[in-house]
Amino acid sequence: MHKLKTLLKFLEYKEELKEAISIRYLMWEPSLMCNLECIHCSNLCTQSNTMKSKELTTFEIKKELLDISKHYDAREIYFVVTGGEPLLRSDLMEVGKYAYSLGYKFGITTNGILLNTHTVKALQKANLSNIAISLDGIASDNDELRNYIGAYNKTIKGIKCLFEQNFKGTVSILCCVSSLNVYHLEEFIDELIPLGISTIRFTPIFGQGRALGQKNLMLSDKELHDLLTFIKEYRKKENKINVTLGDDGYYGVEFECHIRNNLHYCGAGIEWGAILYDGTVIGATHISKKYKEGNIRDNSFVEIWKNNFYDYREGRKELFSPYCKDCEEWILCEGGGFHLLDQQIDGNELCGYKKLRRIENEK
Ligand code: SF4
Ligand code: SF4
């Protein structure tokens, strides 16, 4: 009865969100430039950054932040700067400070290599409240994926610096799980606990950007099943760190409610929106550009947010119908994560739920 109530409440909540057309997570990809060139980067980021001339200026992004704050309560919005590597953008602190002055909560996702006393102090001054650091497993796994020997040690040094400088905000780890690191996660978590990390969020690798060419890194059905079982069991026995799965897809009642703090929910285009380096507006930074909805150089973000996004909202069922037609799980799943679309794979590969059922049927 309790579970049913939770479920009904959740479905109600999802409908309310769709009707409200309110923005809660505003992601900004300031640049495709990165100090690393990871073999599994979903964004094709490079050190040379050939797209620099197309990047939004400081003025353009600040103007947009101001306009959004006139239409929505900025205090309810997380402004999260992604990348590329956001610490390479020389105006990051200026934009962060400005966002904070308008009421936004300011966060970044970074590979952590550039965190040092100087950058941490500057981030504190800019009122950063949330930092998510990408680290993909123990040193050997991380460095192979990052294509850089020593990346792990540099990131750990950056994390330690945050704590030494008494960083007041939330520090979490984002870990992309592939066939390379899937069976080394407990060892990895053991290394993070003494550092003071509060949350680690695992996300299965998906075929976007450079990762598309890395078929050997994709999780097999069994590896996916083992990953979810690991998270479920770990959450039952340990509470020194919050281990969770990202909102990447729906996995059925056996796992939902056990692998994260909430039921699966993809908020792309419903409460999450993103502005890319060249002004493109889309549901989230890691979604295929095929699903872009406009550009702030032509129309304001608010106009695009209010008037477009049909595929993400009313048209979602139609869009996913080649894969999800007649699926009894639709009401809970709604196609899983939007970022899984357009990976040139068939429907069976897109659906985590079906992968798990295949494993169950083999037993
Ligand atoms: S995955 Fe992250 S750290 Fe690696 S190249 Fe892409 S943006 Fe940079
Ligand atoms: S077929 Fe579609 S709606 Fe059904 S579980 Fe899979 S992804 Fe979700």
The pLDDT score that the predictor gives to residue 60 is 98
Instruction: Compute the distance from residue 336 Cα to the ligand 2 centre, in Å.
Output: 6
Task: Give the pLDDT score at 347.
Answer: 57
Instruction: Give the pLDDT score at 344.
Output: 56
Pairing of the two strands 170-177 and 272-275: unpaired
Chain-wide mean pLDDT for the chain? 92
CA distance linking residue 23 with residue 57, whole number of Å: 23
Nearest-angstrom CA–CA distance, 49 and 143: 22
CB-defined site of ligand 2, < 6 Å = 250, 323-324, 327, 329-330, 333, 335-336, 351, 353-354
Region of poorest pLDDT, from 55-64, 121-130, 287-296, 317-326: 317-326
* Per-residue pLDDT at 156 exceeds 80: yes
Least trusted range by pLDDT, from 27-31, 155-159, 229-233, 235-239: 235-239
Categorize the per-residue pLDDT at 12 as very low, low, confident or very high, splitting at 50, 70 and 90: confident
Ligand 2 pocket test: pick from 263, 340, 354, 360 the residue with the most ligand atoms within 8 Å of its Cβ: 354
CA of 273 to the centre of ligand 2 (A): 23
Q: Any idea which of 169-183, 205-219, 274-288 has the lowest mean pLDDT?
A: 205-219
Task: Kindly report, residue by residue over 287-346, the tens digit of the pLDDT.
Answer: 989 999 999 999 999 999 999 999 999 999 999 988 898 999 998 899 888 888 876 565
Query: Using DSSP, how many helices (H) and how many strands (E) does the chain show?
Result: 13, 10
Substitution site in 38, 155, 286 for ligand 1 pocket (most atoms within 8 Å of beta carbon): 38
Q: What is the pLDDT of residue 104?
A: 98
Q: Are 91 and 58 in contact (CB under 8 A)?
A: yes
In contact, 128 and 108? CB cutoff 8 Å: yes
Residue 293: exposure state from Cβ atoms within 10 A (0-12, 13-18, ≥19): buried
pLDDT tens for 214-263 read 889 999 999 999 999 999 999 999 789 999 999 888 999 889 889 998 88
Both structure tokens of 40? 């599994």
**3-state DSSP of 326-362:** CCCCHHHHCCCCHHHCCCCCCHHHHCHHHHHHHHHHH
pLDDT at 8: 78
Q: How far is the CA of 325 from the centre of ligand 2 (A)?
A: 8
Q: 206, 247, 351: which to mutate for ligand 2, most atoms within 8 A of CB?
A: 351
Centroid of ligand 2 to alpha carbon of 340 (angstroms): 12
